[in-house]
Amino acid sequence: MKRPVGSPARARNGIRDLRGAARLALEATRGVTDVVESMHRTIARVPGLPAAPGERTTGITGLVYRSVRGVTGLVGAALDSLLAAGEPLAGDRPAPLWHDNALAVVNGVLGDHLEASGNPLAIRLELRHQGRPLVLERAALAGAVPQASGHLLVLIHGLCMNERQFRRNGHDHGEALAAATGCTPVQVRYNTGRHVSDNGRDLAAALEALVREWPVPLTGLTLLGHSMGGLVARSAVHCARQSGQPWPGVLRRLFFLGTPHHGAPLERGGHWIDRLLEASPYTAALARVGRIRSAGITDLRHGSVLEADWRGRDRFAGAPSHHGHLPLPAGVRCHALAATLSPSSSRTAAVPRRLRGDGLVPVRSALGQHADPARCLAFAPQDQWVGHGLGHLDLLDSPQVCARLIAWMRQDEPALR
């Protein structure tokens, strides 16, 4: 069930989490049973005779598999009822960092399934400040952010992460920018396993409420996205403009830290493994395992940010990509920060194609460069920066990155006062 924008999220409940984990374990048992039965059926079949889709084994073998599914269903129903009865007794309490980190990973890998199945482990998008969820109403915001300034900085995390991971090795870009420029940082927490466009739509709605209810007059809004967070930011601006929401009118800057604008090789590799497994009838069942990866992950194959990229299509199909091209938003200063594991060199510094990526995202993808000139993102040369000797997560605590962000942000200071 969708939560209205502006309502606070529930704190974590141990029994509720256990209930969600139990559901996942039971679903995994059913899934493994299906895979094993499919391979068993293929191996036992007379060579040359194709199996019908969804065909089950028969006889005693079929009885065994049906028994496993039946017992799993009975145990699952009984366990879910028992845990549901005990859920109110556990109470809600703040979650430790390890819990939020683990939950973020599960949502990154399986988040679309968690949402579709109503699993209580599914994360719902919310805006947060100093570790607490914000109620997007003027009086509540005035109490939660007593030192609110006229310049909002909204930070959006990447895949399998959460907003608490913007603090790394004792450093937080949001806090540093607030101290240097007087902006007020607000973080986004969201289910990274959902489609980027779905998260973009929900973020656009949340930002509309935040800007409308902000307790002081707003002079500027800046969005900072790390990795997938940059794709969600682009999608949110697009959704807002398409639906006529007014908040993009105060949007001044977009910062992209290691954002895979044109995709990431890791997901492309997973896609090719799917194709290889499906090539043989004896391994085709194993391809189902690869297909459990979330919609958010498959969106990273080409950096998809539009609903039209996936609506009505099989996201695991081997057909050529149909993803559309979304230019950078007009009237907004956009900055691309990329990282490379390569050391600095005068011969390679100006040639991104010669640079190694940051371990996850190629430099050219992070800078919006594409083999097809029509798909290149128009980052101005002065709005691009490459950090050498840095990994993907190093972008979150690099002093060089922080200095560059502050320098760019200060260009707006006279207009934002």
Residues 355, 218 share a domain: yes
Residue 295 domain flag: no
Q: Which domain holds residue 378?
A: 126-263+324-416
Residue 163 domain flag: yes
Residues 133, 89 share a domain: no
Residues 183, 65 share a domain: no
Residue 6 domain flag: no
What gap in Å lies between CA 360 and CA 192, rounded to an integer? Answer: 16
Helix (DSSP H) and strand (DSSP E) numbers for the chain: 13, 10
Mean pLDDT by 10 residues, the chain (417 residues): 49 64 64 50 52 58 57 57 56 74 88 88 94 95 96 97 96 97 97 96 98 97 98 98 97 97 71 44 46 83 90 70 86 97 66 77 95 94 96 96 96 59
The residues with which 224 forms a beta bridge, in sequence order, are: 155, 255
The CA distances from residue 321 to 71, 266, 375, in Å, are 42, 16, 13
Instruction: Note the pLDDT tens digit of each residue in 256-282.
Output: 999 999 988 765 444 444 444 444 444
Residue 347 domain flag: yes
Q: Are the CB atoms for 150 and 416 separated by under 8 Å?
A: yes
Residues 330, 221 share a domain: yes
What gap in Å lies between CA 95 and CA 54, rounded to an integer? Answer: 42
**Among 94, 116, 141, residue at a domain's last position:** 94
What gap in Å lies between CA 223 and CA 214, rounded to an integer? Answer: 16
Residues 252, 163 share a domain: yes
Residues 212, 148 share a domain: yes
Residues 135, 82 share a domain: no
State the angle between helix axes of 14-44 and 59-90 in degrees (0 to 180), rounded to the nearest 10: 170
Instruction: Note the pLDDT tens digit of each residue in 311-359.
Output: 888 766 765 566 789 999 999 999 999 999 988 765 545 556 668 889 8
Number of domains within the chain: 2
CATH of the domain at 194: 3.40.50.1820
Residues 365, 232 share a domain: yes
Residue 147 domain flag: yes
**Among 71, 94, 117, residue at a domain's last position:** 94
Q: Residue 123: its pLDDT value, please?
A: 94
The residues, any chain, with a CB within 8 Å of residue 391's CB and separated by 6 or more, are 339, 341, 358, 359
Q: Residue 109: its pLDDT value, please?
A: 83
Residues 220, 72 share a domain: no
Residue 364 domain flag: yes
Residue 290 domain flag: no
Residues 168, 213 share a domain: yes
**Among 72, 94, 116, residue at a domain's last position:** 94
Q: Residue 365: its pLDDT value, please?
A: 95
Pick from 8, 23, 212: which is nearest to 121 by CA?
23
Provide the whole-model pTM: 0.80
Residues 163, 20 share a domain: no
What gap in Å lies between CA 20 and CA 18, rounded to an integer? Answer: 5
Residues 155, 20 share a domain: no
Residue 357 domain flag: yes
